[in-house]
Amino acid sequence: MIRYTLTCFGCCLALALAAPVQAKSFNKAKFLGIDRNADNQVSPEEAAIYRERYFSTVDLNGDGSVAFEEYVQANQLRDATAEKNSPVKVPDDYKAADVNQDTVLSREEFMEAGKAAFVALDKDKDGFVSREEFVAPGL
Ligand SMILES: [Ca+2]
Ligand SMILES: [Ca+2]
Ligand SMILES: [Ca+2]
């Protein structure tokens, strides 16, 4: 019984600690950068403009598609202490975006993934992502 109580207390504590971390994940600078007309809502158009810009920063060699290695380097997914070209596990968001599974994100695949992220963030389904709905990593 004591053990049960302690475990329960542990859970409550974990939940209490998790809450502020979640609140913190709102990225104000990023949101303000995306919300171009500063109405505290991200429209689908603003999201698409942001996504285009993001695409060009991730497409390091500018060939119009994002190879996995570019994605790894742009998002700094490889451990700093790891060997230069050591393999990196493909993250789920990359896998989901790579519809034809060729480990290259075409511009279309990249933009579609952005749209899917937008829909997922728009919790109240009003067609806009509000400040409250916007959480990192976001769009
Ligand atoms: Ca590229
Ligand atoms: Ca692909
Ligand atoms: Ca919304």
Rounded CA-CA distance 130/39 in Å is 9
pLDDT averaged over every residue in the chain:
86
**Residue 58 falls inside a structural domain:** yes
**Quick one: 137 exposed, middle or buried, by C-beta within 10 A (0-12, 13-18, 19+)?**
exposed
In this structure, what DSSP letter does residue 131 have? Answer: T
- How would residue 4 be classed by pLDDT, with cut points 50, 70 and 90? low
**Residue 85 falls inside a structural domain:** yes
pLDDT tens digits, 37-86: 999 999 999 999 999 999 999 999 999 999 999 999 999 999 889 998 89
Distance 125 CA to ligand 3 centre (A): 5
**Residue 136 falls inside a structural domain:** no
CATH of the domain at 112: 1.10.238.10
Q: Determine the pLDDT at residue 16.
A: 47
Amino acid at position 46, single letter: E
Rounded CA-CA distance 91/95 in Å is 6
Domain housing 64: 26-130
**In total, how many domains does the chain have?**
1
**Residue 138 falls inside a structural domain:** no
**Residue 69 falls inside a structural domain:** yes
| pTM, full prediction | 0.75
Q: Are 71 and 58 in contact (CB under 8 A)?
A: yes
Distance 93 CA to ligand 2 centre (A): 12
**Residue 1 falls inside a structural domain:** no
**Residue 7 falls inside a structural domain:** no
Distance 7 CA to ligand 1 centre (A): 49
